Structure 1
Amino acid sequence: MQIHRGLLQQASDKGLISAQQVQPLWDFLRECEREQAHERPGFRATHILYYLGGMIAIGAMSLFMNLGWERFGGWGLFAIALAYGVLGLALTEYLLSRRQLRIPAGITACLVVVLTPLLVYGLQLGLGWWADKGHLSYRDYHTRVDWRWLLMELATLASGAVLLWRYRLPFLVMPVAVTLWYMSMDLTPFVFQDQDQSWALRKLVSLWFGLLIVLLAFWVDVRSSRRDEQRDYAFWLYLFGVMAFWCGLSLQQSDSELSKFFYLCINLALIAVGAMLSRRVFAVFGGLGTAFYLGHLAHEVFRDSLLFPLVLTLIGLGLVGLGIVWQRHEARISARLRGWLPEAVRELVERRG
């Protein structure tokens, strides 16, 4: 709930606190809120500048690198990545120890992790391990699937794990999640010996990999929320996990209406999970899937039906009525539902609630 000065005044009127305590307590709460606002990512001008600048710097050394950098050769690329990495670590230490700015520190530490593939690529090129690379270059790392990127990806995961252990900065999970996604695509032709890179196989891998990452995110969520409720280490894992799962699921092909209805049920389940865990990413993708299914019904199954819009209206109003009933009995229903959950999950839901 939102605490405002009026609530403190009401507490004073009921004798819970004295009238002299209202203003000092309110000043204390406002100061705490200001301090936490700087630590908690949000849609503020300062944070927008942080992330915009950080993503430009990260993109400059990853997505936006061009072939001109190849003229430096392997050892030149290695030296450049190493110099940038040392600078990034120095900035991270300064922002944390001298300025106590965790969000900018997370961005500079993330830059170090993002530089790891370039560092490993330059080292491999310098040692002659990429003599048969063909038309591949470093900029293809972010656009082309190839099992030869695996060493770079493993090194990136290792550096991300080390910096997470050292700094405990949630934004460092972002490059780890992206790298896991890359690795799932690069491992597919290698593990399944599918050099033709079957599109159907990739969709299945995306679906199951996404589900695995969501489960990993949930495990991280449960463990980290017990130790530190202020830092969200699971956000990026949830985002990329749900994205991979939902895209793999939505791209499946089937002419069966039963399969399409099952697709709707999965999306409704995503919305329910999002509500339970207070994770909007589940609700967003579940809502998109539900809208796609209703669009399929409107344009394919009930194209010429006059009753379909009426039925949808009644369903919508029924859901509104269900929400009213839920609001009236929310405490009792929620307590009963939470009683069926494992203890760790119940604690997580109660903290989020």
Structure 2
Amino acid sequence: MQLTPTLLAEATRRGLLSTEQGQALWDFLAEQEREQQHDTPSFKAAHILYYLGGLIAIGAMTLFMTIGWEQFGGTGLLLISLVYGTAALLLTEYLFERKHLALPAGLTAVLAVVMVPLAVYGAQHAIGLWSDGDARHTAYRDFHYYIDWRWLVMEFATLAAGAVALWRYRLPFLVLPVAVTLWYMSMDLTPLLLGGDNLGFFSDLGKLISLWFGVAMTLLAFWVDLRSRHTKDFAFWLYIFGVLTFWGALSSMDSGSEWGKLAYCAINLLMIAIGAALSRRVFAVFGGLGIAGYLGHLSYTVFKDSLMFPLALTAIGLAVVAIGIYWQRHEAAIGRSLRRILPAPMRELVEQRRG
């Protein structure tokens, strides 16, 4: 039930609250709602403009940086990154401390953090660690496209900068560069750990490493979710890249048999259940894609000549809808029964996400 001025006035009339208490409570709730709407990402025009502009600026210095910037040399790239990073930090301080605009401050803080790998690359290039005569890719833009263990110094520096920025500003969007960097590290560590330059993400061992790295990042996201359940959503980007890394590696693996493909479908069903329990759509989205892929495999390979398969699949779909109707009618009782078996912190997290 939503609290309205009418309900608050009725509570005051019945003597549950004094007039002063009712007004003070309403003012407090109104202020909290304004702050939440102001700082919580949504599809408001202002928020869309924030993210559009911020992501364009971030992308310009990362994914979309052209090879022409190499002409500045290592020292030039180092100076440029320091100027950009300093300007972004000053703008962050202004937006965060003076204007109290958390969303744009988070975007400019991320812009400062993503200048760190460029600064490290420039410094390394200046002292000759990325020589022009190296046959392997050495342009900074390759950092975002190719797997290479030599990027690890840049990634460790970025993680350190991201941790400092998170400590300073406590803004959830700053988890994004940390999550992306961890994802990069999961791929760049593969050739270092396996002892070769040709062992990347798409090798069998590379996929296995990526899968378990995704599991670890998802578990980290769950731990962060529990720790921050009463504050801001710091786990969002960790969930995104944890599930993406895990599901991408799992989906690219060769299951070897129909039983393996059935197990893949079961894992995707479990992901949907986890998404429903934690109110995290990322699990449901990738789980749904996995199930759709498995059903496509059955349709085009296993039962390609069957007349009954579409009918059976329709019946299964309608049965799932019927289960959904039953669940909706008895959701409160089922939810209470299930939540009673959960530890207290997890029960609080689920109840808060449901709210």
Distance 2:140 2:262 in 1: 43
Q: What's 1:346 paired with?
A: 347
Q: What's 1:290 paired with?
A: 291
Distance 1:15 1:314 in 2: 56
- How many residues are matched? 350
One-letter amino acid of the counterpart of residue 182, structure 1: Y
State how 1:1-353 maps to structure 2 within 5 Å: 2-3=2-3, 29-131=29-131, 133-134=134-135, 135-197=137-199, 199-226=203-230, 228=231, 231-353=232-354
Scaled by the length of structure 1, the TM-score of the pair is 0.92
Q: Against the structure 1 CA distance between its residues 326 and 17, is the aligned structure 2 distance closer, same or farther, given a 3 Å change threshold? A: farther
CA-CA distance at 1:202 after TM superposition: 2.1
One-letter amino acid of the counterpart of residue 181, structure 1: W
CA-CA distance at 1:326 after TM superposition: 1.9
Distance 1:3 1:136 in 2: 59
Distance 1:51 1:179 in 2: 20
CA contact (8 A) 2:130 2:138 kept: no
CA-CA distance at 1:217 after TM superposition: 0.4
The runs of at least 4 aligned residues of structure 1 exceeding 6 Å deviation read: 9-28
CA-CA distance at 1:28 after TM superposition: 6.3
One-letter amino acid of the counterpart of residue 212, structure 2: W
CA-CA distance at 1:331 after TM superposition: 2.4
CA-CA distance at 1:128 after TM superposition: 2.1
CA-CA distance at 1:59 after TM superposition: 1.0
CA-CA distance at 1:336 after TM superposition: 2.0
One-letter amino acid of the counterpart of residue 117, structure 1: P
Map Cα deviations across residues 90-128 of structure 1 (whole Å, 9 max, x no partner).
Answer: 011100111000000000000011000000011111122
CA-CA distance at 1:3 after TM superposition: 4.8
Unaligned segments of structure 2, at least 5 residues = none
One-letter amino acid of the counterpart of residue 171, structure 2: L
Q: Which segment drifts farther, 326-335 or 26-35?
A: 26-35
Q: Which segment drifts farther, 106-115 or 8-17?
A: 8-17
Distance 1:124 1:290 in 2: 46
Map Cα deviations across residues 208-245 of structure 1 (whole Å, 9 max, x no partner).
Answer: 1111100010011111114x1xx111000000110111
Distance 1:144 1:261 in 2: 33
Distance 1:154 1:23 in 2: 51
CA contact (8 A) 2:211 2:249 kept: yes
One-letter amino acid of the counterpart of residue 292, structure 1: G
Distance 2:268 2:13 in 1: 48
- Secondary structure at 1:268 match in 2: helix
Distance 2:3 2:317 in 1: 33
Q: Against the structure 1 CA distance between its residues 7 and 261, is the aligned structure 2 distance closer, same or farther, given a 3 Å change threshold? A: farther
One-letter amino acid of the counterpart of residue 148, structure 1: R
CA-CA distance at 1:21 after TM superposition: 9.6
One-letter amino acid of the counterpart of residue 228, structure 2: S
Q: Against the structure 1 CA distance between its residues 268 and 68, is the aligned structure 2 distance closer, same or farther, given a 3 Å change threshold? A: same
One-letter amino acid of the counterpart of residue 221, structure 1: D
CA-CA distance at 1:304 after TM superposition: 2.2
CA contact (8 A) 2:148 2:197 kept: no
CA-CA distance at 1:9 after TM superposition: 7.7
Q: Which segment drifts farther, 275-284 or 298-307?
A: 298-307
Q: Against the structure 1 CA distance between its residues 25 and 94, is the aligned structure 2 distance closer, same or farther, given a 3 Å change threshold? A: same
Distance 1:239 1:224 in 2: 17
Alpha-carbon RMSD: 2.4
Distance 1:55 1:17 in 2: 47
Q: Against the structure 1 CA distance between its residues 338 and 24, is the aligned structure 2 distance closer, same or farther, given a 3 Å change threshold? A: closer
